[in-house]
Structure 1
Amino acid sequence: MIETAERLKTVQEYYFSRKLREVRGLIAEGRPVINMGIGSPDLAPSSKVIDAVQNAILEDGAHQYQSYQGLPELRTAIASFYKNSFGVQADPATEILPLMGSKEGIMHISMAFLDKGDEVLVPNPGYPTYTSVTKLVEAVPVYYDLKEENGWFPDLDALEAKDLSKVKIMWVCYPHMPTGASATKEQFSQLIAFAKRNNILLVNDNPYSFVLNKNPQSILEIEGAKENCLELNSLSKTFNMAGWRVGFVLGSPEHISAILKVKSNMDSGMFYGIQKGAIAALQSTDDWYNSLNDVYEERRNLIFKLVDKLGCSFDSKAVGMFVWAKLPNTVSSAEAFIDDILYDKNIFITPGTIFGSNGEGYIRFSLCVTKEKIKEAIDRF
């Protein structure tokens, strides 16, 4: 076999890729596994989205290559969405770039701004892809602590006391995954000021704002944020379109232009019909968000009962499509705990450790499970 690139030795296969293969194996053996691990919405997009796609595939040019920057009307829809949702003004021509999912954006941003040996501030706990992409572009992840006692917000004074001269990017994610913590406008202002003082590109990953959250926010609401901030967003969670791979990034024309240089050399524009569906989704009314959150609230209340059964504690005010639960002090290993439940009760729950060392002592439940399955899981205990 041809020897693989050195960069592959710095990363492992994504946890859910490995673990879900194990879960599928158990299901193939006949085990009735209930998957509460991954945040892949099980609900359908709205009928307007489906109709838009069906109609679009019959249009002239629908099956040709599309613009690397996406349809102008998609960028306009994103701009309107941000204006209506957050009060953020963004130029559709220069400050918005559609992506094939925001995960793609993490790679594109990293390739656009990081050189070998550059450092990246990564939240602990946080989305594992921040670390793996940083390593794949031969930069160096530097973890900053998020702790429950600090509301899962970084200690910026402690960070500033460190040598930050090599740091180029700081990843943040509010509403936070996996904990469901939110940031205030004042905290966003603190993050932006910190990043400006230290010449750091601050990137907020923001796909969870509309799930069980009464106060959706964007870091770009803060005056002057575009000078050193980018924001990623996605249609996966809010509009039940995870498999469609539709995301976007907003920022200054200079930052967006740099990302486009990478993107245009790595893929072509997304399928025309998907873009038309995305436009319809972005034009959804409050009825859509309310009906979605009604379903998730009912599921979350049931998950709370299951968490109580396991002797765990949780923050009932957390937002997003997960429940982050603290294990009893008698449990020494989150991974051993969830494996015991997987093989004894046929229920898959995510261990907090896959999000970083500060995830030890916690587990995460997804709300992408029907209420009938959650009730069944409760009954198994």
Structure 2
Amino acid sequence: MITADRLQSVQEYYFSKKLREVRGLVNEGRPIINMGIGSPDLAPSPKVLQTLKEAISDMGAHQYQSYQGLPQLREAIADFYQSKFDVTVDPAGEILPLMGSKEGIMHISMAFLNEGDEVLLPNPGYPTYAAVTNLVGGKPVMYSLKGENGWFPDLDELSQMDLSKVKLMWVSYPHMPTGAMAKKEQLKSLVNFARSNDILLVNDNPYSFVLSNNPTSILSIDGAKDCTLELNSLSKTFNMAGWRVGMVLGNKEHINAVLKVKSNMDSGMFYGIQKGAIAALQSGPEWFEALDEVYNKRRELMFNLVEKLGCEYDKNAVGMFVWSKLPKNASPSEEFIDQVLYEKDIFIAPGTIFGSNGEGYIRFSLCVKEEKITEAIERF
């Protein structure tokens, strides 16, 4: 059976392939320390877990659920955005819960892209943006992000391009993989750029609450809803990656377009998971403080490891990664991480998987216990 032509436009996800190699080494008895993946190793709060346990006995818990999620979940998301970002959203029409924000990338692309439409994608950036664009027949147009510009696009340069075919622009602040923040004025300039060029801007925002003293949402910019959607997720903030709970927020017209796609793709999120998500969104400040305390300790240790490798890093970056610039005259990123993997039994992500501007960089995940980071340091 011949596969669809669209599969020629994408490759198997890097981590899918590389982790098979890493698992092979583990099966050989190698003591591999995995610092490549941003999968939280901590548990959700006891309240969230208890809520899930109790919810599975509720009447109707095991029936099909609404495509739009429980009204209480949408209300909890609205309350969360109001209290954390000072953003007002209507839970009745401006919020759509998702089974993880990753599926939202596909739903949004299917809702707004026709074959041949162009999409502005960050380099470096989350590789799924490009993969999904290709799968739906769009044309990726990479825009350059560089450390000397704070990993923020040169909008003046972009304005000189022919943007007549551009339909979507993906951004991610706090930025993945670099951890760079965008100031409010920069977010405002992004919204103005999108509006003036009739582009739908999508901000992917799952890292605002990890080691960040100033959580931000692009929807806090006046008029942003006219031309902007925001994706968010409970995966990183509440250690619920495997639960698959995300959301997309924006004006009613845009949300309804995404809902048309989503309602033909699934039959609603499991009731118990929705109830657990509500409990998570209602967490008090002590939850966020405890989370940052853990990640702060890990990050300080990780800085030590990064320095042993002779790499440079930004102490002010946020999120659950340490993005590091390789020393001069070092091997290319993928060769460098393979050398570390096979000589020191430590897996680190090469910057190149996030785009060509990731060459010369490597990324360390903070989803590693302190004793393992200490062990990694000792191996050097």
TM range (shorter): over 0.9
User: In the alignment, what sits opposite 2:121?
Assistant: 122
Cα-to-partner distance string for 1:138-186 (whole Å, 9 max, x where unaligned): 1000000000000000000000100000000000000000000000110
Cα-to-partner distance string for 1:288-319 (whole Å, 9 max, x where unaligned): 00000000000000000000000001000000
Q: What secondary structure, in the 3-state scheme, does the structure 2 residue paired with 1:70 have? A: coil
User: In the alignment, what sits opposite 2:94?
Assistant: 95
Q: CA RMSD in A?
A: 0.4
User: In the alignment, what sits opposite 1:367?
Assistant: 366
Please tell me whether residue 44 in structure 1 is matched to residue 43 in structure 2.
yes
Shift of 1:331: 1.2
Provide runs of 4+ in structure 1 moved above 4 Å.
none
Gaps of 5+ in 2: none
Please tell me whether residue 83 in structure 1 is matched to residue 82 in structure 2.
yes
User: In the alignment, what sits opposite 2:52?
Assistant: 53
Shift of 1:330: 0.9
User: In the alignment, what sits opposite 1:350?
Assistant: 349
User: In the alignment, what sits opposite 2:71?
Assistant: 72
User: In the alignment, what sits opposite 2:18?
Assistant: 19
Give the distance between the partners of 1:363 and 1:78, measured in 2 at CA.
Answer: 34
User: In the alignment, what sits opposite 2:109?
Assistant: 110
User: In the alignment, what sits opposite 2:300?
Assistant: 301
> What amino acid is aligned across from residue 212 of structure 2 in structure 1?
N
> What amino acid is aligned across from residue 101 of structure 1 in structure 2?
G
Give the distance between the partners of 1:110 and 1:45, measured in 2 at CA.
Answer: 31
User: In the alignment, what sits opposite 1:5?
Assistant: 4
Q: What secondary structure, in the 3-state scheme, does the structure 2 residue paired with 1:20 have? A: helix
Shift of 1:268: 1.1
User: In the alignment, what sits opposite 2:33?
Assistant: 34
Shift of 1:218: 0.2
> What amino acid is aligned across from residue 369 of structure 1 in structure 2?
V
Q: What secondary structure, in the 3-state scheme, does the structure 2 residue paired with 1:307 have? A: helix
Shift of 1:346: 0.4
Shift of 1:82: 0.2
Shift of 1:329: 1.2
Give the distance between the partners of 2:98 and 2:316, measured in 1 at CA.
Answer: 31
- TM normalised by structure 1 equals 0.99
Give the distance between the partners of 2:119 and 2:57, measured in 1 at CA.
Answer: 45
Percent identical pairs in the alignment equals 73
Please tell me whether residue 256 in structure 1 is matched to residue 255 in structure 2.
yes
Q: What secondary structure, in the 3-state scheme, does the structure 1 residue paired with 2:62 have? A: coil
- TM normalised by structure 2 equals 1.00
User: In the alignment, what sits opposite 1:275?
Assistant: 274
Q: What secondary structure, in the 3-state scheme, does the structure 2 residue paired with 1:230 have? A: strand
Gaps of 5+ in 1: none
User: In the alignment, what sits opposite 1:141?
Assistant: 140
Give the distance between the partners of 1:378 and 1:63, measured in 2 at CA.
Answer: 48
Shift of 1:332: 3.5
Aligned length: 380
Cα-to-partner distance string for 1:84-115 (whole Å, 9 max, x where unaligned): 00010000010000000000000000000000
> What amino acid is aligned across from residue 34 of structure 1 in structure 2?
I
User: In the alignment, what sits opposite 1:151?
Assistant: 150
Q: What secondary structure, in the 3-state scheme, does the structure 2 residue paired with 1:233 have? A: strand
Cα-to-partner distance string for 1:199-249 (whole Å, 9 max, x where unaligned): 000000000000000000000000100000000000000000000000000
User: In the alignment, what sits opposite 2:319?
Assistant: 320
> What amino acid is aligned across from residue 330 of structure 1 in structure 2?
N
User: In the alignment, what sits opposite 2:165?
Assistant: 166
> What amino acid is aligned across from residue 107 of structure 1 in structure 2?
M
User: In the alignment, what sits opposite 2:331?
Assistant: 332
> What amino acid is aligned across from residue 191 of structure 1 in structure 2?
L
